[in-house]
Structure 1
Amino acid sequence: MLKILVLSLIIGLSNNIITINLNEHHWVDYANLVNEDGTEIRMKTLSIKNDSVYSFLYLTGETKAFPLKIKDSLFIFKRSEHKHHNLTTFQEDTTYIDSMIYEFKYIQNQPILILQPIDGSKPQVLHTLNETKGILETNNLNIPEIEYFNYEIGDTLNQEKLITLNKRFSSIYYFDLQHKVLLSNNEKNFYYINDEKIILEIQQPKIVRSKINNIRNYFIKSLGFNPEITYNQSKNKSIDGYKWENNYIYIYLHKTDSKPNKETNFWRIDYINKLILNVLNEENLR
């Protein structure tokens, strides 16, 4: 009897989440396509509202609607796409069935819907057109939260604490950042920010070799998976660094001077939160 009651409560909560998050929100995903004349157009590619999924076909101007089925933590639906030779021509329309793990989550105080393919490939991140209405968060995906640094990607730094080191910087995911800054001489972390003082990347330089094992073990425990090991190009192929990367984060712990047999090499951490950057990019495009 108790098991039946608990199961009924779980089912009721799940139905309530779906009702609030789908019936009161209109979720959309966009893509940028380039025309033959080189101009760029921003268009919807997928939309979810109530119990329907909508596919938008740019080349023909069609919108196709399909029913949304929900099974446990999965959204199951059909979608239509053009098979492209390039961005302006196509072979044919194709319709296929997607099964994706769904996750409703707040990122930077913005409600988002993550659709993660069950094969682990790149997720889609949908944004709501009804931002003023709240959502109920789910816990279907194991999305890591990094607490190693004092700040997170997307945080805004106090102007009074910024020390500008140089005016322009090209980074891994961004080009032409406005500032490369150090919050304080004691903290020894670099924060790469834009004109609004929003952190886009974090870097910790000059890490001594004796701390590497502890740092590596911390990230393995926090992220739940082992890193890819990188090697230098010398004959002895010694370890050059450890890289953790999935659809949501990028962390690279590596030597800054890879000369072989140089035990005093400093190491560095490069950190990017891809999910937060997706939200920040979407805000900038609105």
Structure 2
Amino acid sequence: MQGTVDGFSYGAVTPLVAYLMACLGSALGLRCTTRSLLVTHSRRPAWLALGSAAIGSGIWTMHFVAMMGFSIHGAPIHYDGPITYASLGLAIVMVGIGIFIVGYRGATGTPLFTGGTITGLGVASMHYLGMAGVRFHGRFTYNTFTVAASVVIAVVAATSALWAAGRVRGFLWSVGASLVMGLAVSGMHYTGMAALGVHLDSVSHATGGAPEASVLAPMLIGPLAFLLLAGVVVIFDPLMVTSRPDWTPVEHKPGVPAAAVPSHADRRPALHGGHRPEHHGHPTPQNR
């Protein structure tokens, strides 16, 4: 028989908290990706790996916070542990592949398209594998067109976010990109849930309802702790927060002699009109 579902059992609380989790994971991941572009090649993998884990954990946490508000009338909900945790690993690995492609090949052209597509497919795969771990007395069916729309949303969102990570340097601009990414990830989730149909095996006398917090809370502790740790890294890394330089450090360019490396004074940003402040050679006390 056809089951009745409710995706908002707790009202606007779960969608709002889920959105914040998506924004947090996106913000930390994008800042780590941006930071990787400002360091030497030897340190780049660590920042990219941290960014991948942050985005993957944020997406996974967002999904299961939103699932706290999902209920099926007359069918208690449980989760298959291995499949549920496999969805977390899948999200981190696929997001990581996309981020590493952009981190090493650049956020333009083919690398951006390839990295964004893989990352978006990772977001969508995490969602549908996580749903495959839901256990109840029945089965899910999906509307193919709506599922395809959710995948497109995920790919476009991921590509836009990776483009922002490679292009945007200002902190506020990065926050804006994270808010957009969080909105797109949440939109992908609820679009995927809109594609859902529920068929119950038999009429149950159980009340059903959303999963108890005691079931989902242990699953969320690890990813939340990781997001907190990643946040601490961001806070205590000044370049991560500001990351203002739009130039590539000259000393990192091959074939440039040390004498040609400009001083810090030469790296001052240009004023309006393209002119730098000039020193007019006022005599110092030693020259008088």
Larger CA Rg, structure 1 vs 2? 2
Interval containing the TM-score (normalised by the shorter chain) = under 0.3
TM-score by length of 2: 0.22
Higher strand fraction: Structure 1 or Structure 2? 1
Higher helix share: 2
TM-score by length of 1: 0.22
